């Protein structure tokens, strides 16, 4: 693995349709960093993340994510960019029609895994990592919110991504569960992955010492946590 930054944005302008939501964004994220992306709703946190995973085109400025040039990203490349990124959503985005294990296997089949034995092995590993070792056979609706979010984190981990983007992953969870999910995400950054997490839950944030970036009035501002 090279030492190039995982994310590098220079003078990037982030648009949501025709509206400029973030201007002159400069952001460099290195391997193994854990970063909070904070700011009120509507300040562009999600738009920034969606730009990083190719759901919004980067129209002005420079941008690079996991080795992909975001300005020159073609539609056909998007799936391959997303395989390098694990995305965790506020609303989990699990496939509700199949059990947990099939949710993970689906991602693996979709991203080119073929060896069934290794697939099963990897599923067991990531479920163990998120503390759901015995729940692979359950349907998503049979799980609690926290457990569902753990499944979505497990799914994000399946392809050993360099970057994990978590868009308000605890937004739908109670405080106790939130603590557990945060610990889990934080532990991932210590194993060398980079975690960028959008949140407006400041109470839990303080417990973990991390870099903080704030979206405010159309700009991205660097803040240092008083740990």
Positions in the binding site for another protein (CB under 8 A): 50, 53, 55-56, 76, 79-83, 87, 89, 93-99, 102, 106-107, 109-111, 139, 155, 159
Alpha carbon separation from 163 to 4, 69, 81, 86, 95 (Å, rounded): 13, 15, 11, 6, 22
Alpha carbon separation from 194 to 22, 48, 53, 162 (Å, rounded): 22, 16, 14, 6
Q: Of 192, 84, 79, 88, which Cα lies nearest the Cα of 130?
A: 88
How far apart are CB 118 and another protein at their closest, in Å?
A: 18
Residue with Cβ nearer another protein (78 or 205) = 78
How far apart are CB 155 and another protein at their closest, in Å?
A: 7
Give the largest Cα separation in the chain, rounded: 51
Q: How far apart are CA 142 and CA 44, in angstroms?
A: 33
How far apart are CB 163 and another protein at their closest, in Å?
A: 13
- Tell me if residue 27 falls in helix, strand or coil: strand
Residue with Cβ nearer another protein (13 or 101) = 101
How far apart are CB 92 and another protein at their closest, in Å?
A: 9
How far apart are CB 109 and another protein at their closest, in Å?
A: 8
Residue with Cβ nearer another protein (96 or 192) = 96
Question: What does the block give as tokens for 91?
Answer: 């609303």
How far apart are CB 113 and another protein at their closest, in Å?
A: 12
Residue with Cβ nearer another protein (3 or 18) = 18
Q: Of 91, 59, 68, 54, which Cα lies nearest the Cα of 8?
A: 68
Residue with Cβ nearer another protein (20 or 139) = 139
Residue with Cβ nearer another protein (154 or 210) = 154
Sheet with 7-16, side-by-side order of all strands: 19-29, 7-16, 60-65, 68-69
CA dihedral angle for residue 164, residue 167, residue 169, residue 172, rounded to 10 degrees = -160
Q: How far apart are CA 216 and CA 38, in angstroms?
A: 9
């Amino acid at each position: 693995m090279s030492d190039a930054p995982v994310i590098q944005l220079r003078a990037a302008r982030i648009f949501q349709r025709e509206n400029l939501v973030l201007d002159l964004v400069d952001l460099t994220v290195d391997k193994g960093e854990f970063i909070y992306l904070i700011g009120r709703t509507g300040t562009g946190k999600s738009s920034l993340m969606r730009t990083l995973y190719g759901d919004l085109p980067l129209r002005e400025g420079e941008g690079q994510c996991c080795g992909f040039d975001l300005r020159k990203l073609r539609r056909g490349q998007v799936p391959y960019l997303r395989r390098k990124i694990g995305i965790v959503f506020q609303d989990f985005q699990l496939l509700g029609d199949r059990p947990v294990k099939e949710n993970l296997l689906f991602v693996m089949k979709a991203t080119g895994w073929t060896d069934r034995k290794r697939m099963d092995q990897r599923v067991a590993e990531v479920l163990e990592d998120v503390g759901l070792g015995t729940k692979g056979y359950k349907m998503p609706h049979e799980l609690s919110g926290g457990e569902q979010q753990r499944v979505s984190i497990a799914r994000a981990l399946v392809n050993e991504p360099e970057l994990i983007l978590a868009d308000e992953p605890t937004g739908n969870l109670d405080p106790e569960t939130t603590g557990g999910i945060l610990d889990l995400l934080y532990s991932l950054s210590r194993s060398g992955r980079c975690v960028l997490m959008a949140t407006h839950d400041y109470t839990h944030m303080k417990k973990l010492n991390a870099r903080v970036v704030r979206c405010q009035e159309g700009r991205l501002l660097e803040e240092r946590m008083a740990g």
